[in-house]
Structure 1
């Protein structure tokens, strides 16, 4: 399926109001039934903020049992009700307890101002999921894995560099947020780095003085403007997040002052600290594929690593097109079965 086809017809529109759990992903759970995968909305406190999360339990779940568990970190601008939930549900179908949480300051989690997107917070959110799920009834804390999607993939790499609770790590369509915010997608904005740093600094000063919070990425684009975007990631991303899979709390925008932290961050710095099995999944046609390739080369601390390419897939297509999701889940199933 070409990018043009998807932009013209991006599949059915999912209405979060039609799902009792607010889900907007394909084949989402609509009710908890005995003997099937169940979903458990939970909250917990992290850094003084209430975090909203969903825990998925497998069909044979027994709170007195010992199940492996996986944390699932959502994409930039995403929520637990979208692709992160879809992958968490699929992992639960394979026998894992899976947790996906809205990042602090985003989605349904607490934090003001809204849409702060700082690497330390996003990384600590993943540590926080590990904190919570490690004590969840039936979880074998010694068999904890991590999965990150898009921006959540980059932050999962960062979390796994130091958090030895994670025995295995995987990413789908990994997005290195720091590199892209600094250099532009495919390093296309190198000539404006200093200008954007000045804008971020000014935004921080305005916030500190009690002024208006300024945002980046906050644009209501027309269909024509979407079609004119230079990268498939952005064209298809607008379709996914604003049209077919839109839900409360999901937004492209982030505070301009977040760039002070983002532009000085890189998910691949110190990647040699990861010493556990690493699987990175990317679409063969994705304009973000180079980020996974770069990261894998820098992951010199583990000899058990692989880049798995889904033939024909673009970045956003790994979120919702069945054959691409199936390919990713099949690979993840074999990987986690071997490493957990």
Structure 2
């Protein structure tokens, strides 16, 4: 009986692995493992080029892609944009798409995998603490400021989803960023504490206790416990009441799957996440601010709250993409095009 159970388990794992691998075909076919539509497949003179780079934040190796604009001349100076990826995402997905498309408009851009995540170093894997993600953004600015052709007086930042929340916090203190933009901003602390759309108020203390216990176990050399590591089927996703999570499943696990991308994160990270909030101290942002969200996004309430708290910037704009949901702003051509028109105009105006 034990042997039969082992065989069944092995077959199940193998079947799941084979099924999952079929969704990584885009990554396998692209030499830079990019999975977004229209991704670069080779560097061609006179066009946008991609440059994989590595650098360190403290002792952790960070992998990133730098995109240079058409007819790039390292002897000239270019406006530059740091791009922070969504929670669970990697540089080869939405962050890469926006980095490449902004480079087409004349900007140098950089998109990096967060420390402990994606292709970057750091153990245990998939630690997801706000302090780390904010330092990732500072670290991208550190690195790209030394890159040939970068005009450090014309440095901007764009954060997508969770990267948007961390971008707001990074920009509060980092005045190297002369212009700040977010797309479909996600307040990771608010959601991890209260649940999406405030659906988990009743379990706050219970989850904090679980996080504390998980940290205690790690400190004692025990197992690392994770959240978000359940295998989700299409049928399970279809029953999810929230558009963002349902569509997120299809984006991350199907249409734009990448082997380095995962929803899971260490349970102990909740100790930091649940006591943090992207929308606090928004009055510290005095740089021009553009916040973009889909008009149908069920995550919009987070953008709205943070935007209204940004009372100390003289130039701020909230732009809604009509008809778009949260995840659709990552990939749907007509919505991406609208976002890029706003971003291009915004950054050219304030990084001039």
TM-score interval, normalised by the smaller of the two chains? over 0.9
Q: Partners of 2:75 and 2:121 in 1: how far apart?
A: 31
Higher normalized helix content (fraction of residues): 2
1:136 alignment partner, one of 121, 124, 147: 147
Is 1:240 aligned with 2:243? no
Q: Partners of 1:246 and 1:76 in 2: how far apart?
A: 14
Partner of 1:6: none
Q: Give the Å deviation of 1:221.
A: 1.4
Q: Partners of 2:343 and 2:234 in 1: how far apart?
A: 35
Q: Give the Å deviation of 1:15.
A: 1.6
Equivalent residues of 2:24, 2:258 under 8 A apart: no
For residue 164 of structure 2, give the secondary structure of its aligned residue in structure 1: helix
Alpha-carbon deviations, 1:205-238, whole Å to 9, x = none? 1101111100011110122111111201000000
Alpha-carbon deviations, 1:252-295, whole Å to 9, x = none? 00000000000000011111000010000000000100111000
For residue 29 of structure 1, give the secondary structure of its aligned residue in structure 2: coil
Is 1:92 aligned with 2:103? yes
For residue 15 of structure 1, give the secondary structure of its aligned residue in structure 2: helix
Q: Partners of 2:328 and 2:173 in 1: how far apart?
A: 31
Is 1:106 aligned with 2:117? yes
Is 1:252 aligned with 2:263? yes
Is 1:208 aligned with 2:225? no
Is 1:310 aligned with 2:324? no
Partner of 2:174: 163
Q: Partners of 1:316 and 1:211 in 2: how far apart?
A: 36
1:146 alignment partner, one of 157, 160, 168: 157
Q: Give the Å deviation of 1:243.
A: 0.8
For residue 40 of structure 1, give the secondary structure of its aligned residue in structure 2: strand
Equivalent residues of 2:24, 2:259 under 8 A apart: no
Q: Partners of 1:79 and 1:223 in 2: how far apart?
A: 22
Moved over 6 A (4+): none
Q: Give the Å deviation of 1:60.
A: 2.1
Which residues of structure 1 form unaligned runs of 5+?
1-11
For residue 205 of structure 1, give the secondary structure of its aligned residue in structure 2: helix
Is 1:181 aligned with 2:192? yes
Equivalent residues of 1:175, 1:288 under 8 A apart: yes
For residue 41 of structure 1, give the secondary structure of its aligned residue in structure 2: strand
Asked which structure has the greater CA Rg, the reply is 2
Partner of 2:92: 81
- The TM-score normalised by the length of structure 2 is 0.92
Aligned-residue CA RMSD in angstroms?
0.9
Partner of 1:231: 242
Equivalent residues of 1:14, 1:25 under 8 A apart: no
Q: Give the Å deviation of 1:14.
A: 5.6
**Paired residues, number:** 329
Partner of 2:300: 289
Is 1:326 aligned with 2:340? no
Pair 1:298–1:161, CA change in 2 (3 A): same
1:199 alignment partner, one of 206, 210, 221: 210
Q: Partners of 2:30 and 2:273 in 1: how far apart?
A: 34
For residue 106 of structure 2, give the secondary structure of its aligned residue in structure 1: coil
Is 1:23 aligned with 2:34? yes
Q: Partners of 1:288 and 1:188 in 2: how far apart?
A: 13
Alpha-carbon deviations, 1:178-219, whole Å to 9, x = none? 000000111111111001001100100110111110001111
